Structure 1
Amino acid sequence: MNVTDTLQRYRESIDNIDAALVFMLAERFKVTQAVGEYKASHALPPADPGREERQVARLRQLALDAKLDPDFTEKFLRFIIDEVIRHHERLREG
């Protein structure tokens, strides 16, 4: 197998992983949308700092176990959490 074929196989794998990530994020946001609707209908705050802190700690440990940079993992999770909170705030207001 030549270099170009090898690189193409790697890129195909990356493309498959990226597709899986997009579908997983879509599924996650479907669930967090339901959480936001529940919170809004029960007058609960959009953010839960204690839950967020536990999630960050749990995912940092998972990152370490997976030999992934925990700082990167936390930044990625923080981006997702901030987006979810923004959606929850919008649901509460509207």
Structure 2
Amino acid sequence: MNGSILDIMRETSSDWQKTTIDSAQAAAHPETAQAVARIKALRQTIDNIDSAAIALLAERFKATSQVGVLKANAGFAPEDTKREDYQIERLHRIAIDAGLDPEIAEMYREFVVTEAKKRHKRIADAGGDPGVLDVFA
């Protein structure tokens, strides 16, 4: 072989995989310039949504940490299968109503429930102390 694996991959990939936003091309072609401007605006919207989603996720975990303390102090297990079943149905409905593939909602639910259970266990193992979660403070 004359080229590297990366060169071969580049040669065999389709055009859309090689395309990047090119400001020089945008300046020469008005339709490209419009697309570039729209992409930039949408990316700003995406960045704003990501910021809000992370802030909301942080708030969610603060609330689930409080649940973890209450569970630990009451001697409850970190896992609540009844609540999980309810959440599966609820998030599935919300996803459909929002026009989102329910599988994406399920991936989200799986992530947050798994993480919350881990955090609840850490709190329980620490005798109900939520300070065990303050690894970023």
Q: Same fold (TM over 0.5)?
A: yes
Shift of 1:14: 0.2
Partner Cα separation in structure 1 for residue 34 and residue 106 of structure 2: 38
The match for 2:105 is 73
The match for 2:57 is 25
Equivalenced residue count is 94
Residue identity (%)? 38
Which one of 63, 71, 76 corresponds to residue 39 of structure 1? 71
The match for 1:84 is 116
Q: Give, as a single letter, the amino acid of the residue that structure 1 aligns with 2:101.
A: D
TM, length-normalised to structure 1: 0.96
Gaps of 5+ in 2: 1-32, 127-137
Q: Which has the larger radius of gyration?
A: 2
Partner Cα separation in structure 1 for residue 92 and residue 73 of structure 2: 32
Q: Following superposition, which runs of at least 4 residues in structure 1 exceed 2 angstroms of deviation?
A: none
Partner Cα separation in structure 1 for residue 112 and residue 94 of structure 2: 17
More helix by share: 1
TM, length-normalised to structure 2: 0.66
Higher RCO, Cα 8 Å, sep 6+: 1
Partner Cα separation in structure 1 for residue 35 and residue 49 of structure 2: 21
Partner Cα separation in structure 2 for residue 85 and residue 9 of structure 1: 38
Partner Cα separation in structure 2 for residue 72 and residue 3 of structure 1: 28
Partner Cα separation in structure 2 for residue 45 and residue 3 of structure 1: 53
Shift of 1:58: 0.5
Q: Give, as a single letter, the amino acid of the residue that structure 2 aligns with 1:29.
A: F
The match for 1:60 is 92
Shift of 1:4: 1.5
1:5 corresponds to 2:37: yes
Q: Give, as a single letter, the amino acid of the residue that structure 1 aligns with 2:94.
A: L
